[in-house]
Structures are given as C-alpha cells and as structure tokens.
Chain A
C-alpha cells in the first residue's frame, strides 16, 4: 500500500475497567474479520511468496584472529558548528565590549566567523578598535544599527587573525649571543590597507546619522545608580 495519511488506530476492544475488555475472545475474533478475509481467499489466509534472498558471497575464514577483542570507538555524529548567534546581534549592530583592552568601547559588528567569534571593527579612525575578533559572551548588543551594505567582509576569516608561523632559523655560535628580536612588531601594510577599505564605507554610513560618530567614540561606563539588570540596551 502506498503510504497514505493514516488515521490513528482506534482501540477495537475498549476497557470496561483496567484489565477487563468489553468483548470476549470469540466476539473479538469476529470483530477483527480475519474469517471474512479467509472466506474470500478460499479457506486460508492469503500469503505471498518469500522473496528469494541472494546467496551471500562465499567468505573465506580469516587467517588471523586477534588475541584480545579490539574495542571499537562509539559512533559520534556530532557536527562542529559555530556558536549560535544571539537574535539581538545582526550585521551592523553596535556592540559594547565588556572585557579586554577595549572594554567599554562601542563597536560595529560585521559578521560571525566559522570559529564562532564575532568579527568587529571600531571603525579604527573613530575609536581605535581595529578589525578584531571578539567572543559573543563578552559583548552586549545594543539596539543601534549601522548600515553595513557597503562593506565587504568576505575575505576575513580565522586564519587571517591567526599567529604568523615563523620559520625556525638554525643559530650559529655568534648569532646565539646577539639580540634575537627582529623588528617584527610592526603591523604589515596589507592589514592596514584592509582596515582602511573596510572602514571607508562604514564611516560614510556612520556620518550620515547624527551623533553616531561621537557615540561610537565614547566609552560605555556604569555610573552611580545605574542598575544593569534594569538597563535596556
């Protein structure tokens, strides 16, 4: 039968009380109607032939049995997913960073990276926060949104922010005693250019909203009498 919408099956033998049905065995047999099916089929219940299963391919007994039973690890069907993004955080939302070097800064959210961290930018010109990753738990989402349509954040991913792997140099005796610090602490120019290109479109849309620029430049702080559990962000 093709699978159709099946009505949930009603009980044929309702309980009078628990354990005692309304109908006796013989009445139930009559109700089920198997006798009618048998009669239609000439005295026996209709059967269909068993499908012949293909003969299993001949397996040779293995030459080697391991001495102890090898335990198989349990199946793990979990998929790694980035943390669920709060409904209040959408691209263009202004976030308040709660901890770290930039605590209290108001910052624009760009996108969520595959690691689950949020990609965020000051913009740098306005409050000194560069393109940065931030954890969702250390951030408060405000209801202020910035128009982010001009920004292309496609090329940024977790690898962009990872630590650069330095090649190990073999040290000779003389070099060992010299200072090892090279001037690698300056930011590479292409990162500065990325920052400028992302911020250019953002700053335009920020300046079109009155006071938003100074809002983003100011830090958030709790003042006397402020109750965080009553604040609406």
Chain B
C-alpha cells in the first residue's frame, strides 16, 4: 500500500461486523462466519450483497510483502435469518479474535 495521494478519502466498501461463526447452541462451524452489514436490516436487502467480495484486514508484527497489514478475502454467500445478517465464507477460516471486529464489504463483482 503506497501512500501516493494525500487526503482524499475514498471509501468504496460498506462496513460490516463479524459476529461469530455459524453455530447451533453448543456446536460451531468455523468455515462459515456470520457478518452484520451496516444498514442492511432485512433479508430482501441482502440480495444486493450476495456474491460481493469481503476482506478482513488485520495487522501483524512481521512485515509481509513490505507491509504490516494482512488480509483474508472472502465473499457473501447467503442471508442468515430475516434481519439482514449474512453468511460469509473466507479463503481461510477467520480467526476467533476477529469476532466483533470490522470487515469490508466491497461493491464488486458488480451487477449494476
């Protein structure tokens, strides 16, 4: 991430919160995570986001590829329940420390 341009913020993603893994009362299935996307509150609104790519961005002590920032890519797979929660699958399962933290939901692959 080279900081060439100063200022001009350009957010092309929607914020989301990682709620946890897909689970029943006493069993959890870490290959699918549940994500709460900001301002999405019903099952019908989720259909716009289906298939969109997401990234969980985190920092680490060791520099990889010249950066302290790392990312796990994933995508929105399907709605979860009736109130806008979404199921997501990531390239590798999200670590448990990600629960409650931010995920970026991008607007691509776009269909508009």
Contacts and interface: CB of A to CB of B under 8 A. Distances in A.
Contacts of A233: 112
A9 B110 CA distance: 50
B112 A88 contact: yes
Given A227-B39, A228-B48, A229-B48, A220 B108 contact: no
Interface in A62-112: 86, 88, 98-99, 103-104
A229 B107 CA distance: 9
Interface of A: 86, 88, 98-99, 103-104, 137-141, 219-223, 225, 227-230, 233
Nearest to B37: A229
A186 B90 CA distance: 40
B108 A98 contact: yes
Interface string B70-112: 0000000000000000000000000000000000001111111
Given A138-B110, A140-B110, A229-B45, A103 B10 contact: yes
Closest 8 CB pairs of A and B: A229-B48, A137-B109, A104-B10, A98-B108, A227-B39, A221-B10, A222-B11, A138-B108
Interface string B1-43: 0000000111111100000000000000000000000011000
Contacts of B11: 221-223
Given A88-B112, A228-B14, A233-B112, A99 B9 contact: no
A220 B112 CA distance: 15
A98 B53 CA distance: 12
A219 B14 contact: no
Contacts of A219: 8, 10
Main secondary structure on A side of the interface with B:
loop
Contact of A139 (B8, B49, B110): B110
Given A99-B106, A228-B107, A229-B45, A140 B112 contact: yes
A170 B9 CA distance: 48
Contacts of B110: 98, 137-140
A221 B8 CA distance: 10
21 contacts: A86-B111, A86-B112, A98-B12, A98-B106, A98-B107, A103-B10, A104-B10, A137-B108, A137-B110, A140-B107, A219-B8, A221-B9, A222-B13, A223-B11, A225-B39, A227-B14, A227-B45, A228-B14, A228-B48, A229-B48, A229-B49
Given A86-B111, A138-B108, A221-B9, 10 more contacts: A86-B112, A98-B12, A98-B108, A99-B108, A221-B10, A221-B11, A222-B12, A223-B11, A225-B39, A229-B40
